[in-house]
Structure formats: C-alpha cells, structure tokens
C-alpha cells in the first residue's frame, strides 16, 4: 500500500541520501535469490534507519528480524567505534548471505548473528541497548517490548516496523484477522505505557519511534 502517491515517493527518494552501493547489491541479490524480498527495508527506510542511528550514536544495538541483513547494515552505520550489534533471525538458510554482506562491510566484527527464536534469545543477552529495531514475528511484538524495556539504557530508542499494517488498523477487523488486532493492541500499548514516549511515523508501512524514559 502507498500512503503517499508514487510521484511523491519518487520525489522523497530523489531528495534523500543515495543508497550505498553495497546495499544496492544486497537488495538485488535478495530479489534474485530469496523468498519474499518485500520484507527488506529498502532504500528510503534504510536511509531513515541509518540517519537515526547516526543521531543516536549507539554503543549497543539489537535487531529482531535480520532477514538478509539490509536493515542490520543501515543500523550499523551509526555504531560507535567499539559498538556492537546483535541481530536475531529464526531462518538458518539466511545466515550465509547475511554474513557475506556483513563481511563486505566495515562492520563485520561488530555484528553478531543469533539463530533462533527471538523470544528465547533476548533473555540470554547480557547487554543494555541504546537502539532496538523490532521487525519480526508480529504476534510477539508486545512480548518483545516487555522483554526489551528493562534492557534499555535511559533515553534508548525502540523502533517498531509495520505498525500501520498496510492501513488495516483503520478498517473493520475480520473475525479471523489476528495480526491486525495484535498490531492495534501493540500501538495502544506504546501510546499508554508511562515508561516510554512514542511517535508513530507514516514511513513505508509505519514505524514507531519509542523513547524509554
């Protein structure tokens, strides 16, 4: 779904940073070889993740949902020199492609891949985070949030993707459409939780920027 016209989207892209060559290659290879390439953040959202990470200048980043590593590399652009990024994905088949591109980037040694279910892996990370990107497994968004808030440094930022769910949050919800209910509940949780402040941005499929107080 386009929240703005394709012409405006084009204008927005033309007046934002260009996509780095390595990420253009990764996007191309993902589209050629991997199922569901639409999951990849892409040029515009990627530049948003990159500039936000540079503004925050995080020591530790956590990403839930690596896929082929596009957003991982965008987020890594803001890492401090000794910073680290932990990224989790449940799909073993993606590990080699992720590592290929991580190794081609300047952030190879800073990125740790975790294979498995995020709900099991997050509690094993003995780290406090400055920036978290939640982009996997919608049914567990609320659970991820509860696990992550105590693991955030004060002022840390949690980004949550797909929170407009192609605009379905506005429509009458079909009886068997659990995903929309889950996303709508998640958005209400972020809005009402006194531990955080949140702004929902209509970028791509919707991203919330949530600051932990």
Ligand X SMILES: C[S@@+](CC[C@H](N)C(=O)[O-])C[C@H]1O[C@@H](n2cnc3c(N)ncnc32)[C@H](O)[C@@H]1O
List contacts with ligand X (CB under 6 A): 39-41, 65, 67, 70-71, 88-91, 94, 117-118, 135-137
Least distance to ligand X from the beta carbon of 194, Å?
A: 28
CB nearer to ligand X: pick between 136 and 212: 136
- Which residue has the CB atom at the shortest distance from ligand X? 136
The alpha carbon of residue 173 and the mean position of all alpha carbons in its chain are separated, in whole angstroms, by: 25
Least distance to ligand X from the beta carbon of 113, Å?
A: 11
CB nearer to ligand X: pick between 90 and 200: 90
Least distance to ligand X from the beta carbon of 172, Å?
A: 26
CB nearer to ligand X: pick between 25 and 155: 25
CA angle (162, 9, 105) in 5-degree steps: 65
CB nearer to ligand X: pick between 143 and 195: 143
Least distance to ligand X from the beta carbon of 40, Å?
A: 4
Q: What is the DSSP string of 105-153?
A: STTGGGEEEEES-HHHHGGG----EEEEEE-S-GGGHHHHHHHHGGGEE
Q: Are 149 and 124 in contact (CB under 8 A)?
A: no
Q: Are 129 and 148 in contact (CB under 8 A)?
A: yes
Least distance to ligand X from the beta carbon of 18, Å?
A: 18
CB nearer to ligand X: pick between 68 and 84: 68
Query: Which three-class secondary structure string do you get for 58-117?
Result: CCEEEEECCCCCHHHHHHHCCCCCCCEEEEEECCHHHHHHHHHHHHHCCCHHHEEEEECC
Distance CA 205, CA 15 (A): 20
């Amino acid at each position: 779904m386009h929240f703005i016209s394709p012409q405006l989207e084009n204008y927005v892209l033309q007046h934002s940073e260009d996509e780095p060559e390595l990420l253009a290659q990764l996007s191309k290879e993902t589209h050629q070889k991997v199922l569901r390439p639409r999951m990849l953040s892409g040029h515009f959202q990627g530049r948003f993740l990159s500039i936000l990470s540079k503004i925050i200048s995080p020591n530790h980043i956590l990403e839930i949902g690596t896929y082929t590593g596009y957003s991982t590399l965008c987020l890594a652009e803001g890492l401090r020199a000794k910073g680290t990024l932990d990224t989790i994905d449940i799909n073993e088949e993606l590990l080699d492609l992720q590592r290929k591109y991580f190794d081609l980037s300047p952030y190879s040694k800073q990125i740790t891949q975790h294979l498995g279910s995020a709900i099991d892996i997050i509690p094993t990370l003995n780290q406090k985070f400055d920036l978290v990107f939640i982009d996997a497994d919608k049914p567990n968004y609320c659970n991820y949030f509860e696990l992550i808030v105590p693991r955030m440094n004060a002022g840390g930022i949690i980004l949550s993707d797909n929170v407009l769910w192609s605009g379905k949050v506005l429509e009458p919800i079909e009886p068997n459409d659990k995903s929309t209910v889950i996303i709508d509940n998640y958005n209400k949780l972020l809005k009402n939780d006194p531990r955080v402040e949140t702004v929902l941005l209509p970028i791509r499929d919707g991203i919330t920027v949530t600051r932990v107080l």
